[in-house]
Amino acid sequence: MSCGLGAIILVFMLVKHNVDNSVLETELLTADLKRLLAQQEELRSQVQATDDQKATVERQIASVSSDIEQVRTALEKLKRQAAVQQSKKSQLEEQIKKIEVPKTPDVVEIPKKGEQEYLIGLRVEGPKIGILVDTSSSMTDQRLIDIIRRKNGSDASKIAGPKWQRTREIVKWLLARVPSTSQVAVIAFNRSATSLGAATWVSGGDANGIGAIVAQLDRVVPTGATNLQAGLEAMAKIGASNLYLVTDGLPTLGDSSYKSLNPFASCSALWGASSTISGECRAKLFRHTVTNARLGGAIVNTILLPVEGDPEAANEFWLWTSATKGLLISPAAGWP
């Protein structure tokens, strides 16, 4: 009996042990199954997201491809249009080459000797351009001894003087650069003032009118004293907006009424009572002249061709021109 009971107890213990192991294994397998199912769901979500991204990229690729095709089509169209325009341009160029254009002569013809236009800053401009030309005896030559010799010589000798030849070229240089929309007047002065040309004011584009000024200038004989007052009074009467003065120094003659003015008591040459005039009197005369000139705010530019014995001229002219916002230029011997 005891053996049989013992055997039964042993079987029971073995059966109970196997049942406990089976439950544990089931729980582990269930957990693994849940984990795998979760991984499977996560992978399905990733696959779906990837498919969505792929579809989006494919749509973007299709859109870009469509844009590229449109641009390519437009580019081809532009190339065809450009080819047509180039063909028309070539035809027009050939037609233009066959057209004979009549040559219009320059308003003023100036022979060129290389590059001559190097007066930086000097511009011929303004609605009413006045050119005031000193035609006194000193405008014939550079040295005083040569000026005196020509002064006592023939008219042909005076006209042939190198400084006067240069002065005429300077006036022509100025005339050639007068804008066609401007008017120009040229006044010559020595003891008195004279307007050159057929009319006081000439259009910058009027070749005949400017030609008449040049022709009359070529006949001028430089002689007499330098009465800047007479020139400025003549210019003031016509109302120039921009003045270009071509001279070689300070004035040597003034109005006879200056005799009653105290600053000129010792300057008898001003009213013709002496054949010479001092540098001090010339400077006084110049200052008085420009101070009383009624130019109406005109901008004054001076081209100074210095003469011997007049060292104060550059300084006095510079003070005057700068006060009017103009320029003083003393060009090199080779210009123009």
What's the mean pLDDT in 265-288? 73
List pLDDT tens digits, range 155-205.
999 999 999 999 999 999 999 999 999 999 999 999 999 999 888 899 999
Average pLDDT of the chain to the nearest whole number: 84
State the DSSP H helix or E strand holding residue 11, giving kind and residue range, or none if neither.
Answer: helix 2-98
Listed residue (310, 252, 247) closest to 281, CA to CA = 252
Q: Give the per-residue pLDDT at 260.
A: 59
Q: Which two tokens stand for residue 269?
A: 């040459």
- The residues, any chain, with a CB within 8 Å of residue 185's CB and separated by 6 or more, are 128, 129, 130, 131, 195, 197, 200, 201, 202, 235, 238, 240
Confidence label for 131 from pLDDT (cuts 50, 70 and 90): very high
Q: CA–CA separation, 286 vs 292, rounded Å?
A: 10
What's the mean pLDDT in 113-121? 48
Asked if residue 274 has pLDDT above 60, the reply is no
Confidence label for 243 from pLDDT (cuts 50, 70 and 90): very high
Confidence label for 92 from pLDDT (cuts 50, 70 and 90): confident
| Cis, peptide link before residue 336, omega less than 30° from 0 | yes
Asked if residue 113 has pLDDT above 80, the reply is no
What's the mean pLDDT in 247-259? 79
State the DSSP H helix or E strand holding residue 302, giving kind and residue range, or none if neither.
Answer: strand 299-304
Q: What is the CATH number of domain 128-329?
A: 3.40.50.410
Confidence label for 23 from pLDDT (cuts 50, 70 and 90): confident
Give DSSP secondary structure letters for 259-287: GGSGGGTT-GGGGTS-S---HHHHHHHHH
Q: Give the per-residue pLDDT at 237.
A: 95
Distances (CA, A) of 4 to 10, 100, 315: 10, 144, 152
Q: CA–CA separation, 144 vs 307, rounded Å?
A: 8
Q: CA–CA separation, 247 vs 117, rounded Å?
A: 20
- The answer to whether the beta carbons of residues 189 and 169 sit under 8 Å apart is no
234 compared with 31, residue with greater pLDDT: 234
Confidence label for 51 from pLDDT (cuts 50, 70 and 90): confident
- Interior CA angle at 197 toward 114 and 244, to 5°? 55
What secondary structure letter does DSSP report for 100?
Answer: -
- The answer to whether the beta carbons of residues 133 and 163 sit under 8 Å apart is no
Confidence label for 108 from pLDDT (cuts 50, 70 and 90): low
Q: Give the per-residue pLDDT at 199.
A: 86
Q: CA–CA separation, 295 vs 233, rounded Å?
A: 8
Distance, CA of 121 to chain centre: 11
Distance, CA of 255 to chain centre: 43
- The answer to whether the beta carbons of residues 281 and 270 sit under 8 Å apart is yes
What secondary structure letter does DSSP report for 65?
Answer: H
Would you call 194 helix, strand, or coil by DSSP? strand
What's the mean pLDDT in 65-80? 89
Q: Give the per-residue pLDDT at 114.
A: 38
233 compared with 253, residue with greater pLDDT: 233
pLDDT above 90 as % of the chain: 41
What's the mean pLDDT in 98-114? 55
* Domain regions of the chain by residue span: 11-101, 128-329
- Interior CA angle at 11 toward 8 and 17, to 5°? 140
Q: CA–CA separation, 320 vs 305, rounded Å?
A: 16
pTM of the complete model: 0.65
Other beta carbons less than 10 A from residue 205's beta carbon: 13
Q: CA–CA separation, 201 vs 134, rounded Å?
A: 19
